[in-house]
């Protein structure tokens, strides 16, 4: 069946990275919308806000004073989701009872950080050029390196990152953590509590479910295909086909995945097998910064608004087996909720919560629209 038919019929697509399916219903884009609409964002933020907890020199919620930082700034989250020290938990029921079988819990410790992207209160990733995104990537890499297990094959690389940001809070942890999740929630629609552009880093003694599912699929593919890497081969395929590619440079591919759930979901994937941030050289970090700039700028240009999203890096665990480390492949997920305009968003409810995810616009249509949004950031022409 010709692939073009899929633009008009309902069908399911398999997500090789999660081992799951998504229902695609392209004909539903024609339905009228009388539901909830989000308020369009208005860019009226100042470069500095004296009441902002994240601006340089300001007092944070619990009284600490931010330094007069000039690039990125890292500090331990004042309201961390996990703590590095807490009372030890030992399940009491080990007698084979019904409660011990069904009511399971385990202790999780870790450390959470906040990273401001720049001193400016009003500059998002879409506003920053490559030279100003590189320090953010360097800071991510410095954090990852500081928490990497000495027994990991990646620790042997010993690639020290220079020219990072203000990172007095980056120190060796009290315990060896299993995983580090680096992410950003942009916009109030995604639950962002402070408009100063920033990201978060959560490290935990457990391997979270999403990266765990992906890692199992990556290991399975490697085992079944003679050591081949799933995402490296997928990047090669998409680079050849082009129809879902949004942006491409020598090192990275930005595309709307075949299996995307969110309307304008994008994945940035390394073309070569790179396990984690520490695998990149200076040129690759610069090209990663270029890919991030291209994706976020096109997002804002699409509906001429501050485009909300959740973005996160998936890479090798901080501690893991050689098989887990070698099967890992660096990539970044962008999950944006907007569907038809700056005010109409996608909801994962009903069938999507109870059965399986569903999308209307196809990834090919989404990629074509994002390709057309290249060029300068729209709001720079308004100044």
Residue from 142, 198, 273, 329 carrying the catalytic annotation: 198
273 has catalytic annotation: no
How far apart are the C-alpha atoms of 175 and 77, rounded to whole Å?
Answer: 18
* DSSP letter (8 states) at residue 378: G
Tracing tokens 């202790």 back to the chain, one arrives at 107
How far apart are the C-alpha atoms of 185 and 313, rounded to whole Å?
Answer: 12
Listed residue (324, 351, 258) closest to 18, CA to CA: 258
**Binding-site residues:** 28-31, 52, 55, 61, 77-78, 121, 185, 191-193, 196, 200, 214, 314, 331, 333, 346-347, 351-352, 358
Q: Contact, 120 vs 145, CB < 8 A?
A: no
3-state secondary structure of 148: coil
**Binding-site residues for Zn(2+):** 52, 55, 121, 196
Tracing tokens 């003694």 back to the chain, one arrives at 205
Q: Positive or negative, the Cα torsion across 345, 182, 268, 322?
A: negative
How far apart are the C-alpha atoms of 228 and 327, rounded to whole Å?
Answer: 9
In 50-178, beta strands by DSSP E: 73-76, 110-116
**Binding-site residues for Fe cation:** 214, 314, 331, 333
How far apart are the C-alpha atoms of 201 and 187, rounded to whole Å?
Answer: 18
Pairing outcome for strands 252-255 and 358-359? unpaired
Taking CA 368 as the corner, what is the angle to CA 366 and CA 371, rounded to the nearest 5 degrees?
A: 110
Catalytic residues: 198
């Amino acid at each position: 069946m010709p692939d073009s038919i899929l633009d008009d019929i309902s069908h399911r697509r398999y997500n090789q990275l999660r081992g799951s399916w998504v229902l695609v219903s392209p004909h539903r884009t024609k339905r009228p919308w009388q539901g909830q609409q989000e308020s369009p964002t208005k860019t009226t933020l100042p470069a500095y806000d004296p009441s902002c907890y994240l601006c340089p020199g300001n007092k944070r919620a619990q009284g600490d004073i931010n330094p007069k930082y000039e690039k990125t700034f890292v500090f331990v989250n004042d309201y961390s989701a996990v703590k590095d020290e807490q009372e030890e938990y030992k399940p009491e029921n080990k007698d084979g009872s019904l409660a011990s079988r069904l009511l399971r819990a385990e202790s999780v410790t870790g450390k959470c950080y906040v990273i401001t992207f720049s001193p400016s209160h009003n500059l998002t990733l879409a506003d920053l050029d490559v030279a100003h995104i590189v320090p953010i990537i360097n800071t991510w890499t410095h954090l990852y390196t500081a928490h990497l297990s000495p027994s990991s094959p990646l620790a042997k690389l010993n690639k020290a990152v220079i020219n990072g940001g203000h990172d007095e809070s980056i120190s060796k942890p009290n315990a060896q953590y299993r995983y580090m999740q680096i992410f950003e929630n942009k916009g109030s629609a995604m639950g962002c509590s402070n408009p100063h552009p920033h990201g978060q880093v959560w490290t935990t003694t457990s391997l979270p479910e999403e990266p765990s599912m992906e890692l199992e699929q990556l290991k399975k593919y490697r085992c079944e295909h003679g050591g081949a890497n799933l995402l490296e081969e997928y990047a090669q395929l998409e680079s050849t086909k082009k129809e879902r590619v949004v942006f491409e440079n020598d090192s990275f591919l930005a595309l709307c995945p075949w299996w995307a759930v969110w309307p304008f979901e994008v994945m940035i994937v390394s073309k070569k097998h790179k396990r984690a941030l520490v695998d990149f050289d200076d040129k690759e970090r610069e090209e990663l910064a270029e890919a991030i700039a291209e994706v976020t700028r096109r997002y804002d240009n699409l509906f001429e608004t501050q485009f909300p999203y959740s973005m996160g890096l998936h890479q090798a665990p901080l501690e893991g087996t050689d098989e887990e480390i070698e099967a890992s492949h660096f990539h970044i997920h962008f999950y944006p909720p907007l569907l038809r305009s700056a005010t109409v968003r996608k909801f994962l409810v009903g069938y999507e919560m109870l059965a399986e995810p569903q999308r209307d616009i196809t990834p090919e249509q989404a990629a074509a629209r994002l390709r057309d949004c290249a060029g300068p950031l729209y709001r720079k022409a308004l100044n």
